[in-house]
A and B are shown apart, each in its own frame.
Chain A
Amino acid sequence: MGRFELPHSYFSMLQSLYSLLPMFGLIGHPTSLEHAQATADFLGFSEYSSMDLDFWCGAPPFIADEIKVTSVTGDQIEGRYVESCFIPEMLATRRMKAATRKILNAMAHAQKHGLNITALGGFSSIIFENFELSQIKQVRNMTLEFDRFTTGNTHTAYIIARQVEQASKQLGIDLGKATIAVCGATGDIGSAVCRWLNKKLDVAEILLVARNKERLEALQAELGRGKIMGLEEALPEADIVVWVASMPQGVQIDGDRLKKPCLMIDGGYPKNMGNKIQMDGVYVLNGGIVEHSLDIDWRIMETVDIPHRQLFACFAESMLLEFEKWYGSFSWGRNMITLEKMEMIGGASVKHGFKPLLLPL
């Protein structure tokens, strides 16, 4: 009897079914020009490894990686990493049009590839919000469907809140007696973290630090508590500092003025606090980072020095939404994150095996 062969049409059918498989997306970017050049080399595109900022300003988005994630429940999903070719130096050199074009083009690319739910990682969601890109729905011949995207901020806020709770225990800081300064308190993530600290944890004092006075007062009114303070004034009083402000150039912090012990949760982007403050009694924890219980099959993250199990919580949000088939913008807009949604995504996070990153004590 001859070998059983499937007709060619069967494979075409499988192929078309495969293309219909649900997939999540991550929009990411290099952390610097140097990182972009190294990544190009790593991915085998050596032609691009010597290219300067001008080149990246005109570079199109592309799918840089195919990702497979397995949940502790046994479920498996697949995703795509969309490299937007945005580089933080574009903001520093005021190439704003290039920066915004990168984000919109990457979103159009994700949508064109049929990705159900895509997280805007790194600076992507910050640029989207700050430049009000929601006004630009048309990208060439494509109308962007914003409900296919999520900022991932709900999961990031949830993870940071859990990091406060769990890492403070690691250091023996009693939250009931502790003062927590939230820097960037009025932002999307900051305000959500404040809501959690206020309602879900027994925290002695919350210090609200941000630039906009009106927004601070509105947040204080909403919480019904919290002291509004300047950064310099707040830092020496805090047992825990939650840093969720995003500044391309970062900020200088004098470690001598901090309490000892002090837990600094660096939830900003880019994360550079660990290099800046190295002092006994000051513990810097990368905020908004999760650890998965199982290895994730991807190559792209090898370029950012984080192991196969660690990832940004915002990226993990799109994975969780894909696992749960919760399509639609789970996190979108500013100050829309409720405790209920944080609990919901937190439940999914635990269910599928993601854990907040803690101190390596």
Chain B
Amino acid sequence: MPQLEATLELDFQSDIYKDAYSRINAIVIEGEEEAYANYNQLSTLMPKDAEELVKLAKMEFKHKKGFEACGKNLNVSPDMGFAREFFAALHGNFQSAAAEGKIVTCLLIQSLIIECFAIAAYNIYIPVADAFARKITEGVVKDEYMHLNYGEEWLKANFDTARAELEEANKVNLPLVWSMLNQVADDAKKLGMEREAMVEDFMIAYGEALANIGFTTRDIMRMSSYGLAAV
């Protein structure tokens, strides 16, 4: 039986690593910024939950600061222009849904898709991160599970009325996640993160969230297949 290939040796100070990090770090910072803004916006759409949502938003802001520190620690300037472009489509979909008061779609984008994307990426990043970033990311990922749980619980409680909108929102937004993953695959690889591992972890987190909300395995398999359209 062949053995596992030796783990890639990473040089955190090399130009190749830092160049890739400038985009990945920016995506993470922008992702947390988006999350901060999205939860604040949701708090106005969901006044009953406003207090909790503002609390979640504050946590995302803290994460953003943490990841900014990770970039500074490696003397990397995050390429924020790239990151804003990266999130543009998902950002646009969230804004349109918010403008129409479509809470279910907003929650699917922020609490399920973005949170699961973050959980997958952070879990894959932790074992290959530099010591400073590892510590920060470990703290962040614990919070992200909590945020995912918020969305799950709300959608579970409103499953009967939310179901159709969730399916539609999934169909529109899941292909975006795949194309986002494809866009960063090369940079992520330079950081020791493999695309297929991120896809798998995303599908695990997303599938578990959909199952907790009330979808069956069959529904989840069908809904997940929309991601493949972008491959």
Q: Which residues of A contact B (CB under 8 A)?
A: 44-45, 47-48, 51, 54-55, 57-64, 91, 94, 96-98, 100-101, 105, 109, 112, 126, 130-131, 140-141
Contact = CB atoms under 8 A, between A and B. Distances in A.
B37 interface: no
A18 to B, nearest CB: 16
Given A58-B199, A58-B200, A140-B123, A48 B1 contact: no
26 contacts: A44-B218, A47-B222, A48-B221, A51-B228, A57-B196, A57-B200, A58-B195, A59-B203, A60-B203, A60-B204, A61-B204, A62-B207, A62-B221, A96-B2, A96-B5, A100-B4, A109-B204, A112-B208, A126-B1, A130-B1, A131-B1, A131-B4, A140-B119, A140-B123, A140-B201, A141-B141
B4 A97 contact: yes
Interface in B203-223: 203-204, 207-208, 217-218, 220-222
Contacts of A141: 141-142, 145
Nearest to B145: A141
B134 to A, nearest CB: 13
A45 B221 contact: yes
A94 B1 CA distance: 10
B172 to A, nearest CB: 17
Contact of B200 (A45, A48, A60, A131): A60
Contacts of B19: none
A142 B5 CA distance: 25
Interface string B88-115: 0000000000000000000000000000
Contacts of A94: 2, 5
Contacts, number: 68
Contacts of A45: 218, 221-222, 225
B1 A97 contact: no
A97 B196 CA distance: 10
Contacts of B194: 97
Interface in B1-38: 1-5
A98 B4 CA distance: 10
Contacts of B197: 58, 97, 101
Closest 10 CB pairs of A and B: A58-B199, A47-B225, A58-B196, A60-B203, A130-B1, A60-B204, A57-B196, A58-B200, A45-B221, A96-B4
Contacts of A140: 119, 123, 201, 204
Contacts of B221: 45, 47-48, 62
A98 B1 contact: no
Nearest to A46: B225
Contacts of B5: 94, 96-97
Contacts of A126: 1
Given A59-B203, A62-B220, A131-B1, 9 more contacts: A47-B225, A48-B225, A61-B204, A62-B217, A96-B3, A98-B196, A101-B197, A105-B200, A131-B3
A271 B231 CA distance: 35
A47 B208 contact: no
Contacts of A112: 208
B140 to A, nearest CB: 13
Contacts of B204: 60-61, 105, 109, 140
Contacts of B141: 141
B218 to A, nearest CB: 7
B228 A58 contact: no
A112 B196 CA distance: 22
Most buried by B among A64, A140, A141: A140
